Structure 1
Amino acid sequence: MRLHVAPDHPQFLEHYHAARAGIQLPPESTAVERTIKGSLDWLVARYLEHLSEMVDNGQASNLTLMQRRSLLKELTAMTAENGDRFGSFTLHMPQSQMIRIRNSMMATPGKAANMVKAIRALYRWAFEIGLTEHHLARDVSAPRLNSTGATPWTVADLQQYRKVHLPGTPAHLCLTLFMFTACRISDAYRLGPGNEIEIQGQTWIGWQPKKKGSAFVEIPMLPPLYKATRAINADNEAYLMTEYGKPFRSAEGLRNRFKKWCEEAGLGHLSSHGIRKAAGTLLAEEGCTTYEIMSIHGHSEAKTSEIYTRAANRKKLAQSAMSKLTSMDW
């Protein structure tokens, strides 16, 4: 059977596997057309096509699409003992196989949890549109993660970063934007002068977070942030620009750039989300209520912001309790 693409073509393997299954693909074809109907490859291709459409319609995050595509492509590339790809098998994957896949990845529990999440989303969609009679992955549980997530920045970390990245630099502006808006990186790369509004003679900044379910955020621009945004170029489309003078095209682009800035400051183990956590902690320690933190972080549920106020209240209670021992005759 003739192959219409050369070995160096990005779709060569797909054409090769299709030919082995007796299917001759045209030179240009869609991802779904390049798979065997009813196979796991076919299901994944259809699901990713659906997820891509959701991204185009603003109903899903491009970061979610990128992560799911990477994980599900890895899933289909896995091989059985006889060397056959999982992608060539029927889409009706046994639950026992899903559990084996999860267990094989337990050396990296975070990735194992994301793989389970991707598989469950895949089969939930398959069930909803009638490709399966049951939600085949419904009872596959994700591994327990003991980590509390991103490491919060300390005051010393913030000082160290600013010693290396001085005012007037994009790196300094980036940290200032994270610190004085507590925004996520999925929002930071999009913020700019167009988000500024005047309220009673004061400049505020407002945006709708991209994370699903988040509330609109509207906060005053404190002097450090206002000064930092004006120190670069107030006429830019976005506050944060690439070295080529263009806005970052994605959160991933800014994440990579910020990682380099952190490494230059000797803080390569930290991330932008850790600044958001640090801001929440500092707000709580300064006496902000749960609902005040919700208004800044865009949380739609109080339980998320209570993580910060609970920790701050425990510190105050501990301080009060220990003060009662100061008069003890020891």
Structure 2
Amino acid sequence: MPVLGPHNLTEMDGELAIQWQQSKAVSREVTVLVAEMPRMELDIHNGVRDTFLVTERGNPFASSGSLDNRIRKWVEQAGITDAQGKANRSQHVVRRGVAQLLANEGASEYEIMTTLGHSDPRTARIYTDKADRAGMGVSASRKRT
């Protein structure tokens, strides 16, 4: 399983970015800026290990499934659970949430597509169709004046 680590960091227009290729055959390369909070965390661990996320034993995760299991444990530890105490968030739910936030902020289908590594804009259209259309209409009107 390919792992994200310091080797994926790059600079884009003077800002820290992370660049990677997802392992899915239809996915495309992704390059996104590193936000302030993750950047602070990366600064703490700079050069300590080859991968950003590791198991409790300090090893890279063996598969995306093992990482997903660990994320579910973290979600449960954070108390984000259903009535039975099970995690009600996963990697995929977080990914969908990011896509929806981008759409609500006015990101285009192609911006969402490239941020998430999609190869087909129809996948991103799911999120733009659900976006805050009234707010986007007001935003578009302001661009005309």
Please tell me the TM-score bracket, short chain as reference.
0.7 to 0.9
Structure 1 position 299 matched with structure 2 position 103: no
Aligned pairs for 1:9-20 within 5 A: none
The match for 2:30 among 197, 217, 229 is 217
TM-superposed deviation, 1:266: 2.3
Alignment CA distance shift 1:269-1:203 (3 Å): same
Deviations 1:128-172 (A, max 9, x none): xxxxxxxxxxxxxxxxxxxxxxxxxxxxxxxxxxxxxxxxxxxxx
Cα distance in 1 for partners of 2:96, 2:136 equals 22
The equivalent of 1:289 in structure 2 is 108
Q: How many residues are matched?
A: 130
Aligned pairs for 1:180-219 within 5 A: 190-219=3-32
For the 8 Å contact 2:106–2:136, the answer to whether it is kept is no
Q: Percent identity?
A: 36
Cα distance in 2 for partners of 1:294, 1:217 equals 9
Aligned pairs for 1:157-306 within 5 A: 190-231=3-44, 233-235=45-47, 236-267=49-80, 268-306=87-125
TM-superposed deviation, 1:318: 9.2
Cα distance in 1 for partners of 2:114, 2:21 equals 12
Aligned pairs for 1:1-330 within 5 A: 190-231=3-44, 233-235=45-47, 236-267=49-80, 268-312=87-131, 315-317=132-134
TM-superposed deviation, 1:317: 4.0
Alignment CA distance shift 1:197-1:318 (3 Å): closer
Alignment CA distance shift 1:306-1:208 (3 Å): same
Deviations 1:185-244 (A, max 9, x none): x76xx111010112332221111111111111112212122112223x221110011222
Partner AA of 1:286 in structure 2: E
Q: For structure 2, which runs of at least 5 residues remain unmatched after alignment?
A: 81-86, 138-145
TM-superposed deviation, 1:255: 1.5
Q: Which has the higher contact order (CA 8 A, sep 6+)?
A: 2
Question: In structure 2, the residue corresponding to 1:237 is in which secondary structure?
Answer: coil
TM-superposed deviation, 1:270: 1.6
Report the structure, 1 or 2, having the larger strand content.
2
TM-superposed deviation, 1:257: 1.3
TM-score (ref. length: structure 1): 0.37
Alignment CA distance shift 1:243-1:210 (3 Å): same
- Runs of 4+ residues deviating >3 angstroms: 317-320
Please provide the CA RMSD for this pair.
2.0
- Which of the two has higher C-alpha Rg? 1
Question: In structure 1, the residue corresponding to 2:40 is in which secondary structure?
Answer: helix
Question: In structure 1, the residue corresponding to 2:18 is in which secondary structure?
Answer: strand
Partner AA of 1:234 in structure 2: N
Question: In structure 2, the residue corresponding to 1:230 is in which secondary structure?
Answer: helix
